[in-house]
Amino acid sequence: MQNRLTIKDIARLSGVGKSTVSRVINNEEGVSESTRLKVLKVVQDQNFSPSKSARSMRGGSDKIVAIIVSRLDSPSENQSVRAMLPMLYQQGYDPIVLESQFCTDRVAEHLQVLERRNIDGLILFGFSGLDISMFTQWHHKMVMVARSMPGISSVEYDNAGAVELLMEQLIKRKIKNISYIGVEAEDATTGQQRSEAYINQCREHGLDVSIALGNLSHQSGFDLTSQVLKPDTQAVICATDTIALGVHKYLQLQGISAIQVCCVGSHPLLNFLFPNTLSVQPGYRDSGEVAVKQLISQLLGNSPPLQHVISATLGLPE
């Protein structure tokens, strides 16, 4: 028979207030050990479900999944999140979106709050500096996007493959004087992996290396363009579409139109203003769909933690 007791009933049987029961169920501080044990005994004796109680205290939502993005204004992560939301709604989950701003302390704060609220699952956009010890309580109910950690499900992009695909297209067109603007190696994915792929491709094909590294902004792309341009430069590969916007702006102001700009990703504004940009799609939308499918499968007990890699493709914007 389904349990019909409420928090009010548990409070009455325990001889405490409803707020005390809520704190015990959500494992919050402010309750003496003797009171906590008394409430937990009633919960156990009455076969009461703490998780359902916690959900009733957070506004009546039955199931909740948190999505922690790096930046709310990230075009790539927005594409992924837009793919996640309809799938979560369809499965009966209410998503909440938080922002880390690439700050490990902020992620830790978010995790503490989410654990107290007893949410069902977590999708986290990973970045350099995160430590696996932060996710001890989450391994079985989380998926990390863009990075991987042992024992945690992940959905990664083929960063090296994306740059290799661009290099392959340029070489097919007999373009060999290729420069690169990327992100500092502290960023292991967008930074290190993509930069190393460019360098390795140059070595493999006997091409000169011309590279400059900065950050993810269009201003960085604008500022670094002059450092990689040579009299015979035929193309500039950019680690991201945002950087490519800055490169295009620099070339436009300098009246340079003969250089092919290439990038990983395709921001709608980039495609609108500079439709001749050669771009590779990392699979941002696909990553969102795969992340949700993997998470729900784990929450249902149908899958262990798995690692997924999304292949890059040439084509239209996602």
Topology of the domain covering 159-281: Rossmann fold (3.40.50)
* Mean pLDDT for the chain overall: 90
Per DSSP bridges, beta strands 278-281 and 313-314 are: antiparallel
> What confidence category does residue 88 fall into, taking pLDDT thresholds of 50, 70 and 90?
very high
In this structure, of 197-201, 285-289, 295-299, 313-317, the range with the lowest mean pLDDT score is 313-317
Topology of the domain covering 64-157+284-313: Rossmann fold (3.40.50)
User: Dihedral of CA 59/64/70/74: which sign?
Assistant: negative
- Residue 142 CA to residue 135 CA, distance in Å, equals 9
Q: Is 249 a residue whose pLDDT tops 60?
A: yes
Q: Tell me, what's the pLDDT at 207?
A: 97
Q: Tell me, what's the pLDDT at 143?
A: 98
First to last CA, the chain: 48
DSSP string, the chain: ------HHHHHHHHTS-HHHHHHHHTT-SS--HHHHHHHHHHHHHTT--HHHHHHHHTTS-S-EEEEEES-TT-HHHHHHHHHHHHHHHHTTPEEEEEE-TT-HHHHHHHHHHHHHTT-SEEEEE--TT--GGGGTTTGGGEEEESS-BTTBEEEEE-HHHHHHHHHHHHHHTT---EEEEEE-TTSIIIIIIHHHHHHHHHHHHTPPP-EEEE-SSHHHHHHHHHHH--TT--EEEESSHHHHHHHHHHHHHTT--SSEEEEES--HHHHHH-TT-EEEE--HHHHHHHHHHHHHHHHTT-----EEEEPPEESS--
Domains 7-57 and 64-157+284-313 are alike in CATH topology: no
Q: Is 6 a residue whose pLDDT tops 80?
A: no
Q: Tell me, what's the pLDDT at 1?
A: 37
Q: Tell me, what's the pLDDT at 23?
A: 77
Q: Tell me, what's the pLDDT at 4?
A: 58
Residue written as tokens 């207030």? 17
Architecture of domain 7-57: Orthogonal Bundle (1.10)
Q: Tell me, what's the pLDDT at 240?
A: 95
Q: Where are the domains of the chain?
A: 7-57, 64-157+284-313, 159-281
> What share of the chain has pLDDT > 70, as a percent?
92
User: Dihedral of CA 283/289/295/300: which sign?
Assistant: negative
Q: Taking residues 199-228, report their average pLDDT.
A: 97
Q: Tell me, what's the pLDDT at 61?
A: 47
- Residue 88 CA to residue 289 CA, distance in Å, equals 10
**pLDDT tens digits for 90-128?**
998 999 999 999 999 999 999 999 998 889 999 999 998
**pLDDT tens digits for 32-63?**
878 888 888 888 777 776 544 444 444 444 68
**pLDDT tens digits for 144-181?**
999 999 999 999 999 999 999 999 999 999 999 999 99
Q: Taking residues 196-202, report their average pLDDT.
A: 98
Q: Tell me, what's the pLDDT at 100?
A: 97
pTM of the complete model = 0.75
Cβ pair 127, 146 in contact under 8 A: yes
